[in-house]
Chains A and B, each alone.
Chain A
Amino acid sequence: MTTQLVGMLEHFRDIDALDLSDVEPMTQPYPLNNVMREDVEAKSLDRQEVLDQAPAAESGRFRVPPTIGFDV
C-alpha cells in the first residue's frame, strides 16, 4: 500500500511545475451565498428506530468502550 501511495504522490508532482501564485482556489462549483433556514423546530427522529441500528445502546444512549486518558 505504501509503495502505491508514494508512487501516486510522485505522479501528482506534475502540478508542481505550474505557477499558480496568481490563481484563486476554486472551492464552490456553483456560486451561492447566504443559504439559511428559519429557526423552526421539526420533529425528532424516533429514538428507538435509531438505537435499534446502534452497535451498542443502554438507557436511551449509545454505549462505547472507555477512553484512556482524559477528554480534551
Chain B
Amino acid sequence: MQKLVEIVAAVSSGSKTAIAVVEEHLARINERESEIHAFNLVTSDQARKDAAKIDEDVKSGKAVGALAGVPIALKDNMCTRGVETTCSSKILQGWKPPYDATVVTKLRNAGAVIVGKTNLDEFAMGSSTENSAFGPTKNPLDVSRVPGGSSGGSAAAVSAGFAAASLGSDTGGSIRQPAALCGVVGVKPTYGAVSRYGLVAFASSLDQIGPFTSDVRDAATLLEVISGHDPMDSTSIPQPATSLVSVLDHGVKGMRIGRVTDLPEGCEPDVLARLEAAFDALRVAGATVVDVKLPSLQYCLTAYYLIAPAEASSNLARYDGVRYGNRVDAADLNAMYAATRESGFGEEVKRRIMLGTYALSAGYFDAYYGKALKVRRLISDDFARAYKDVDAILTPTSPSTAFKFGSKTDNPLAMYLCDVFTIPTNLAGHPAMSVPFGVGSDSMPVGIQVLATTMGEQAMFKVAAELERAS
C-alpha cells in the first residue's frame, strides 16, 4: 500500500494514473468492506470521475494540488455537498448538505479523491464505534475487536488500506484512541488550527478535525493542507498553516521530554512497557527525559463529562425534524419534537443530552458546568507550568489495546475511561498525536501519545518522527 506522499509524487509526475490508484483502493474496499464496515457510503462513481479529472490535468500540463490523486475517506460528520452526511444517526439518515465543510473544499482544491464517508459513534459520542446506528466497524487487525471511537471508520479505512489517508474529528480522543487501536498515526491539532466550519458540532470548545495516515510524514503533509485561518470560523487561529514536513528530519537532540509522574491509574502493564521503551528510544536519540507533574489530571474526566455533554445538549437541540433530517409526524409540534428525537437518537446520545441539560440547568449550573470550567483552567495551568520545563510530553494514548466487542457497553463509565489520557489535551486546547509503537501482549498495536503546547506542532512532529524511526 502506497503512502500519501508517494501517490502524490507518482500521480503528479504522470508515472502512475490517479485512476489506477483509486482502482487499487476500491478493489481493497470491495474485498474487505463487507467484513469491516468502515464506510457508511462509498462514493466510487464520483471518485473515478475526480481521478479522471486529475489525470487529464496532469496530461495537459495543468498544475495539480498537494494531494493530487490521493484517495481520502471522510468521517461522516463532515458536510459534503450533495453527498449523504448522517453522523451515523437515524435522525440524519438520507440528509444531503447544501454546502461543503471548509476542510472538504481544501481537500478538493488540493486534488484529493474522496472515496467515501466513514462510520462513527453516533454524533461522535463514544470510544468504540459501537454506538453507530448503522452497526459497528471492525478492527481490520482483529475483527473480534473494536477499532476504537468515535472515528473508528476513518481509522479502520487507513489501517485496511481502503484509503491512503482519512479525516476524523477529536473531542476527547476520538482520533488518537482509534489510531492507537488500529495501528495508524492520528493527530489532533491545536484547537483553532483547523476550521470547524462544516464539522457537525458535538462539543464546540473541544472539537477539532485531524488526519489519520499510515505514517508521520503523510500526517504532516495532510495537516499542512487542511490547517490555516478560516474566516467562516470565529475560533479559527488567525495564522496560516504551520510548516511541518520541513522539521521531520530534525531529530530530538537536546529536546526535553516530559514523563508524567501522576498519571491516572488503570493503564495495562504491556502498554506502560511500550511507553518506557518510547522514552528509552528518545534518550538514545539525544533527548532528556524529565519528570513533570499534572496534579489536575485526575479531575479531567469529570470536567470533560460535564462540559462536553453540556455543549452537546445545546448543539443537538437543532435536530427537531423541522428543516432537515427525519421527522416522526404527530398531531402537534411538541409531540412531533418528542417523537422525532426519541426515535432518531440512540441511547448514548440521549444519555449525554440529558446529562448536559442537567449540568446547565438553573440551580445546578455553578455546581456542575461552572465548576467544570474551573477545572479546565486548572489543567491548563498545570500544562503551562510543565511546558516551561519540557518541549513535549509522552503518555500512552489508550489504557489498553483494542478490546473485544461488547466488553464495555454495559457500563458507560468504563467506556469513558478509555479517554483518560486523551481528554486533558482537548480541555487545554493543545495538540497531541498517536504514533504506533510496537504491540501489546495480545499482539495488538500500542499507540504512544505525543503532547505539545498550543501551536507546538513542530516539536510534537519532531518527537513523533523520531519514535517512528525507532519503532
Binding site for A on B (CB under 8 A): 95-96, 98-99, 190-192, 205-206, 231, 234-235, 237-238, 298-299, 302-303, 305-306, 321-327, 329-336, 347, 350-351, 354-355, 358, 367-368, 370-378, 380, 412-413, 428-429, 454
A11 CB contacts on chain B under 8 angstroms: 302, 413
A37 CB contacts on chain B under 8 angstroms: 231
A59 CA / B229 CA spacing, docked (Å):
40
A8 CB contacts on chain B under 8 angstroms: 305, 355, 412-413
Q: Is the CB of B429 within 8 A of A29?
A: yes
The binding surface of chain A is classed by DSSP as loop
> Does A65 touch B at the CB level, under 8 Å?
yes
Q: Is the CB of A5 within 8 A of B376?
A: no
Residue of A nearest to B377 (CB): A26
- The contact size tier of chain A is 35 or more
Q: A20-B371, A62-B322, A65-B329 are in contact. Are A7 and B413 (CB under 8 A)?
A: yes
Report the minimal beta-carbon distance from B285 to chain A, rounded to whole angstroms. Answer: 31
> Does A72 touch B at the CB level, under 8 Å?
no
Report the minimal beta-carbon distance from B338 to chain A, rounded to whole angstroms. Answer: 12
Instruction: Identify A25's interface contact among B235, B331, B374, CB under 8 A.
Output: B374
A8 CA / B99 CA spacing, docked (Å):
38
Instruction: Identify B336's interface contact among A5, A30, A35, A65, CB under 8 A.
Output: A65
> Does A14 touch B at the CB level, under 8 Å?
yes
B334 CB contacts on chain A under 8 angstroms: 67-68
A12 CA / B321 CA spacing, docked (Å):
33
A29 CB contacts on chain B under 8 angstroms: 191-192, 205-206, 428-429, 454
Q: Which residues of chain A from 19 to 49 have any CB-CB distance to chain B below 8 Å in the complex?
A: 20, 23-30, 32, 35, 37, 45-46, 49
Q: Is the CB of B332 within 8 A of A12?
A: no
A28 CA / B93 CA spacing, docked (Å):
33
Q: A37-B231, A65-B329, A66-B332 are in contact. Are A49 and B98 (CB under 8 A)?
A: yes
Q: Is the CB of B333 within 8 A of A64?
A: yes
Report the minimal beta-carbon distance from A64 to chain B, rounded to whole angstroms. Answer: 6
B329 CB contacts on chain A under 8 angstroms: 65
Q: A30-B192, A32-B238 are in contact. Are A18 and B375 (CB under 8 A)?
A: yes
A9 CA / B369 CA spacing, docked (Å):
12
